[in-house]
Structure 1
Amino acid sequence: IFSESTFNSPQGVAIRNNIIYVADTENHLIRKIDLEAEKVSTVAGIGIQGTDKEGGAKGEQQPISSPWDVVFGSSGPEVQRDDILWIAMAGTHQIWALLLDSGKLPKKNELKKGTCLRFAGSGNEENRNNAYPHKAGFAQPSGLSLASEDPWSCLFVADSESSTVRTVSLKDGAVKHLVGGERDPMNLFAFGDVDGVGINAKLQHPLGVTWDKKRNLLYVADSYNHKIKVVDPKTKNCTTLAGTGDTNDVISSSFTESTFNEPGGLCIGENGRLLYVADTNNHQIKVMDLETKMTSVLPIITSENAVVDGPFPAEKQRTLPKLPKSAPSIGLSPMTACPGQTLQFKLRLELPSGAKLTDGAPSCWFLSADGNEWLLQGQIPSGDIENISNQPTISLQIPGDCLSLEAVVSISVFLYYCSADSSACMMKAILFSQPLQITDTEQGCMAPVELRYVF
């Protein structure tokens, strides 16, 4: 279950229909996260680094080595579903496939559901292109993106150690050069920062790629050059899209003035307007608007800004985040109050021994009253939790003109914290429900209600 699952340096993810597949790199596993069932399972790998360069066993029995990225694809143009999970297997310098349903790979016989096997790459650490996929050589492939439509019909591969971007044909598995590197397949030091065409373009340790099917362009996270490059696969022209090369963080700026610090991952929005960048060493998600040519930081949910409409909002709307299904719900004893009275709720939450709130993360609380939202008019409906040793007291004043009624006030709390050694960080949520009987009978001074919970 979610609360008990653990990962070790997860890198790439692929998402479809409330299912997330994760390249759990240092566990040497492919994991499946079911958002509905709130369960994590293993679909490939045995938990220790494998040396097998062929594969062919059922996923859970097949040793794999440092999977770095995953992307969905199909077993042929006639297949209208994502029945293959392609894997950038950085540890063995190969591209593998996990069959999510029975099907075929190019030049392969029918394969059973769950089969995990090598698709391209000899396993030698090389920058070798070849029409025969098993004779090609990669050098720590780290990023994948798929262009299923003709004339492309290929996987784009960010091959980090050779500082190249390569293509793998979905029709016959042929591996071809796109940009970067050099012609000598054994030279893995042909890196640089040069805009140009094909082999004249130079990259340095690219880690991520994403395909823009709206514009027929490929975006590349050129990590060690601290830039985002764009490639036209038709002309093989590679140019700098954003990033000055300076690593000093600039929060919001034009593409030409924006900065990154070893960007490691890319993702394009469904409508093709926004490009999201994992700006790794700045600890941010940057948002690049491909129409306005502006870069900003992706807003994170906080008590002051719970939902933001796009990266450049005209207005900020306060909305209660959705509680995870695993969040405990605490029912408090019913309380009687009268109009004009102020109720106080003291947070008394305890973290595991040695744990501490995550610096810069938005630990916060929210007040809500489903069906009786008018009770909160004029109130402060949310706030931050900045220190676990000095937690806030939440006040709720019953409106003076309130008629007699029964209502339930809810206090939702979201805590972001890290373990004592900072090896794992997480978010936990809890819901307190306070039933109220509001009458016009005089009430005396009421003691604050303590909201206690031990995580």
Structure 2
Amino acid sequence: MQGLMPGLSPHRPPGTMAVPVAAFTGVAAPPFLPPVAARSAVARPADARGDVRVADFPRGAAWFNAPPLRWGGALKNKVVLLDFWTYCCINCYHVLPGLAALEAATGPAAGFAVVGVHSAKFDAEKDAANVAAAVARYGVAHPVVNDAGMVLWGATGVTGWPTRVLVGPRGNLLALWSGEGNDADVRDVVSAALKFYEPVLNTTPLPAAPAGVTAGGKGGSATATLADLRYPGKVAVSPDGRTLYVADTGHNRVVALEAETGKATAVWGSPGGDAGFEDSPGSGGDRSGGDVSPSNGRCSFAGPQGVVVDAATRSLYVCDTDNHAVRRVDLDTGGVSTIGGNGTQGFDYGAGKAGSAQRLSSPWDAVLVDLPVDGSLTPHLVVAMAGTHQLWALPLGVAASAAPRGGLSGALTPPDRLASSRWTVFSGTGREAQRDARTAAAACWAQPSGLAVAAVEATGDGDSASSTLVVADSESSSVRAVTIGGTCPTRTLAGGDDLLADNLFAFGDADGRGGRARLQHPLGVAASPDGATVYVADSFNHKIKRLDVAAGAVAGWLGGKGPGAADGSEGRASFWEPGGLAVVPGGELFGGKRLIENRKRVRTGAVPEGVAAAASTDTSLRVTLRLPVGSHWTDGAPSSWQVNAVANGGAMAGRLAAGRVSQTGPAGGVINAAGLAVPAAGGNTPGLEVEARCYYCGADGVCRMEAVVWQLPVLAAADGGDAAVVLEHTVGGRG
């Protein structure tokens, strides 16, 4: 709509048009309202339009939080606000708090009611069970009807989500608003209508819902244990693969779990799971490396989603979605601080402010990425700002060339100063669309909801490298990518519509390449250690799919034809709208095989005297690789690495990390591993080994593979040891 910011305009199906409020009221559309004393005059001309009536609700439709309602029944002689919504829509989500506040301020005795009309965009949203779950998940307490066939939608002339329609006591249409950001206008017109119709209003409360059809009521549960989850959103895994961090969204908290046993070890959030917005100083300076619950003050969240671990600073970043904020959890002290947002939704599409001064809009996921700044790669926290259809970024420290990611944390911004770092818009104009561009700034996103970073790839210019930021672009039902480097161009990997740039309605469930693949509102992505495969939470298809990044090919992997909650492989597993994914380092939690099993022709990498790994949970490793003069990396044959704990006698005790060699140019590469959980010396694991398989072509035109292994001793304690192990190696060299 004219005058609204990009993300505030309604989400419309193809071929529809906006209908202005004045078309129904005969008066100026909000916000051009007369003073309060004259508001009854606003309703009078609308009331005179007796020919403009709202159709009755579809017969046989499922209702939640109330029995079936009719204009001639329980709603007769009431002022009713219809909320046309669909549960995938972030803008629809944004209007819910305003509706709840309006209901609370008006009260049932005023003869006013809100009725939600769920009119599905996606096929999965037509299912009554899915709608019931969404009503409960979003805490909708007013009556909701499932208008799966969009009968009332079409009869009322609604053209987009969200739309609110005000109906008078005779079922007569008074006003219509499309989009969000107009709560004050809605409130004023409702107030005018209630004043005008006061003598005839029916103040009898609506009938209670029959048993079994009440779905609403967001909030905590005082009896919930750490093992109980309610509509969990996202999940992250610690670098050693031993701890899972789960956004327990429905309980407004974040829980740490042992990956092997599922045992809960820590919780951040109010004890009863109630929503709130409070920081906590934590327990003090315990630097033992363990994850602890807050013990010096209470903290609280509201509907958290994305979580990401920063091993370099022992931080857990949390997208506190319903608070429109980003929070930091100190994994050593349990303290919680706010680094962006102030608890209320912002409508800013330009960023530029810091801390609580920078208002955010539904941050949904986050990831750590090195972004180009003034020619250097600099660590950033990138956030999928679903509410503004953009990707935002918060700088975390100095250039990667001076302090490689995973190096000493002293090179990064101290955590207590992050609230002073200024947020920037990394990508997206704010317009909701599937539109790729040569620059990140010119791209358009459609409710980005999941982020992952694929491995670094060669750019071919000899002096720079690029990684791939993968985005689950939910409303375009596509998986898209940003190439990190230069102007950071975007491209669509799979799904969506490769012919219609502004697509928001190409969805389905089909394997295939590029635009021939069909997804349905994907919410999560996770990259394999080598970056070649991206796992996609195809949420509304209730499946996990695999995407070959190079080929853009999508294939189903886990999940059946419908929702469920069963473990198993392939089609025997089942999910219900999965929203978050995490890949365990090395592809498995414990044990595993060596990267290089045959050691007969393995080259031993040189380890300088005195260099050792520290027994700790945050040791980092960096190996710089160089090829002989005239050589280059073999195209299509990614070089890989693995870090193992080695037991007495040389047997492998466990895989600590794995990945693909990051190519810094045609003849250079680097191995980076951060947050290594190095076992203490003595006992059964006296050392580490680093394996690398390097594919390269020499100046003579012959392509070769070199297998190299470094043996690293482990110090008995971290004191006196290196927090970062730095090695160099010439592939194909002598000695």
Normalised TM-score (structure 1): 0.56
Note if contact 1:103-1:113 (Cα within 8 Å) is conserved in structure 2: no
- CA offsets, 1:21-50, max 9 Å, x none? 000001000000012222100001122111
Contact 1:101-1:114 at 8 Å conserved across structures = no
RMSD between superposed Cα atoms in Å: 2.6
Q: Which of residues 572, 583, 597 is equivalent to 1:257?
A: 572
Change in 2 beyond 3 A, CA 1:2/1:211: farther
The one-letter code matched in structure 2 to 1:69 is D
Question: Which of 547, 551, 554 is 1:235 aligned to?
Answer: 551
- Provide the rounded CA distance (Å) in 1 between the counterparts of 2:438 and 2:583: 30
Runs of 5+ unmatched residues, structure 1 = 105-110, 275-309, 312-455
Letter in 1 for 2:574: T
Partner letter of residue 138 of structure 1?
A: W
Moved over 4 A (4+): 76-82
Kindly tell me: are residues 143 and 268 of structure 1, through their superposed partners in 2, closer, same or farther at Cα, counting changes over 3 Å? same
**Residue 139 (structure 1) aligned to one of 429, 441, 446:** 446
Q: Does 1:202 align with 2:501?
A: no
SS in 2 for 1:50: coil
Q: Is the 8 A contact 1:158 1:164 kept in 2?
A: yes
The amino acid of 2:391's aligned partner reads I
1:219 corresponds in structure 2 to 535
Distance 1:185 1:242, change over 3 A: same
Residue in 2 that maps onto 1:190: 506
Shift of 1:202: 0.5
Structure 1 counterpart of 2:467, from 153, 158, 164? 153
Question: Looking at CA atoms only, which structure, 1 or 2, has the larger radius of gyration?
Answer: 2
Taking the aligned partners of 1:187 and 1:92, their CA distance within structure 2 comes to 17
Code of the residue aligned with 2:432 in structure 1: it is E
How far off its partner does 1:81 sit? 9.3
Query: Take 2:512 and 2:338, find their aligned partners in 1: how far apart are those partners?
Result: 42
Within 5 A, what are the aligned runs for 1:22-171?
A: 22-76=318-372, 83-102=379-398, 114-151=421-458, 153-171=467-485
Aligned equivalent of 1:10, options 278, 293, 304 = 304
Aligned to 1:161, the other structure's residue is in SS state helix
Deviation at 1:62, TM superposition (A): 1.1
Write the deviation string for residues 281-308 of structure 1: whole angstroms up to 9, x where unpaired.
Answer: xxxxxxxxxxxxxxxxxxxxxxxxxxxx
Match for 1:133: what amino acid?
A
CA-CA distance at 1:78 after TM superposition: 12
* 1:103–1:112 CA contact under 8 A, matched in 2: no
Structure 1's 3 and 229: CA in aligned 2 closer, same or farther, altered over 3 A?
farther
Amino acid at match of 2:382: W
Q: Output the CA distance in 1 between the equivalents of 2:376 and 2:489.
A: 23
Alignment check: 8 A CA contact 2:522 2:538 kept: yes
Output the CA distance in 2 between the equivalents of 1:57 and 1:16. 23
The amino acid across from 2:561 in the alignment is G
**For residue 177 of structure 1, what is the amino acid of its counterpart?**
T
Structure 1 counterpart of 2:444, one-letter code = G
User: Identity rate of aligned residues, in percent?
Assistant: 41
Q: TM-score, normalised by structure 2?
A: 0.35
Q: What is the rounded CA distance, in whole Å, between the counterparts of 1:242 and 1:154 in structure 2?
A: 24
CA contact (8 A) 2:471 2:481 kept: yes
Q: 1:45 to 1:94 in 2, by over 3 A?
A: same
Matched residue of 1:134: which SS? helix
Residue 26 of structure 1 aligns to a residue in which SS? Answer: helix
The answer on whether the counterparts of 1:164 and 1:181 sit within 8 Å (CA) in structure 2 is yes
CA offset digits 1:59-115 (Å, max 9, x no partner): 3321111000011122349999972101000000001101112559xxxxxx99712
Which runs of 5 or more structure 2 residues have no equivalent in the other structure?
A: 1-294, 401-417, 459-465, 592-735
The residue identity in structure 1 corresponding to 2:581 is: L
Distance 1:79 1:271 in 2: 32
Alpha-carbon offset, residue 247 of structure 1:
1.5
> CA separation in 1, counterparts of 2:373 and 2:558?
34
Structure possessing the higher relative contact order (Cα contacts under 8 Å, 6 or more residues apart)? 2
